[in-house]
Amino acid sequence: MQNSPGLKLLFSTIFLIGFVDCSQSQTVPAPPISEKYKFDSKPIWQDEFDYSGKPDAKKWGYDLGGDGWGNHELENYTENLENARVENGNLIIEARKEKSGKQNYSSARLVTKGKADFLYGKFEIRAKLPQGRGTWPAIWMLGTDQAYGNKSWPDNGEIDIMEHVGFDQNRIHGNIHTKAFNHVLKTNKGNQIVLTDASTAFHIYSCEWTPGYISIAVDGQEYFRFAKESGYSWEQWPYDKSFHLLLNMAVGGDWGGQKGVDDSIFPQKMEVDYVRVYPLVVKK
């Protein structure tokens, strides 16, 4: 799905920025944090959602359609206000039980592709998650440049900052996917953390992406780190090209629908307080 062209945000080496069934995760030990990488304290891109109505068209586009999205999902993604809107200081992504396109559920999938593409950075998203069997919200990133392999998933990489499936309440997943490391091959790299209130309170889901490692945390607590090892090629580490952000809520699917879908729970919302991207500072 192509988005309309927009301003691509790429930065120099001094100031640089920056889904799918992840139930099978391999924990990667965290190496010592390198003092080489720091992040600026001022965001270089952000949306505070301090307005009302549709998401800011200068910052967000939509992936549209209901073809299953490679995971046999049951929703049709729309750009309708009922599925994606800003109100009371939050972005609302809402999944609804209703006829939509060829599907029986509607939802939204927002993307920054073509409007804000990033190379490295710290990404912070403060969000409150939906609940109920069949929901599958995600905060994640995909490669924009499509520079590697045959341009199909997962050759150009994926970073899952947050994934949650409603049948496993309060368990949060962080993962990466590459050609060499992915759940299809049973070589997926990722980890999980359990919260007590994922759907009743806001938490800060974050990712640090540098030339040497990708780190995923909740409320500042790192629980997964993937380091670039010596000799890695693009098959293991495609994370040296631009990526874009995605925010969505799927319904059902190969992972989210493993326990079925409880139609009595809808509508369900993922609420996002803010999205902030801080540039990477490479120390000399």
Out of 73, 94, 158, 208, pick the active-site residue: 158
Q: Which entry of 75, 94, 124, 163 is annotated as an active-site residue?
A: 163
| pLDDT range class, residue 282, cuts 50, 70, 90 | confident
Backbone angles phi, psi at 48, to 5 degrees: -90, -5
The CATH class of the 15-19+34-282 domain is mainly beta
**pLDDT grade, residue 23 (50/70/90)?**
very low
Kindly report, residue by residue over 61-115, the tens digit of the pLDDT.
999 999 999 999 999 999 999 999 999 999 999 999 999 999 999 999 999 999 9
Task: Check residue 12 and give its pLDDT.
Answer: 36
Residue 129 token pair: 């998650």
Task: Decide if pLDDT at 127 tops 60.
Answer: yes
Question: Is the CA virtual torsion 262, 271, 144, 149 positive or negative?
Answer: negative
DSSP 252: B
- Please tell me the predicted confidence (pLDDT) of residue 34: 52
Domain edges within the chain: 15-19+34-282
Q: What single string gives the DSSP state of each residue in 54-105? A: S--TTT-EE--B-S-TTTTB-EEE---TTTEEEETTEEEEEEEEEEETTEEE
What is the maximal distance between C-alpha atoms in the chain? 56
Residue 48 is a catalytic residue: no
Q: pLDDT digit string (tens) for 192-207? A: 999 999 999 999 999 9
> Which pLDDT does position 36 carry in this prediction?
85
Is 35 assigned a catalytic role?
Answer: no
Residue 27 has pLDDT above 50, yes or no: no
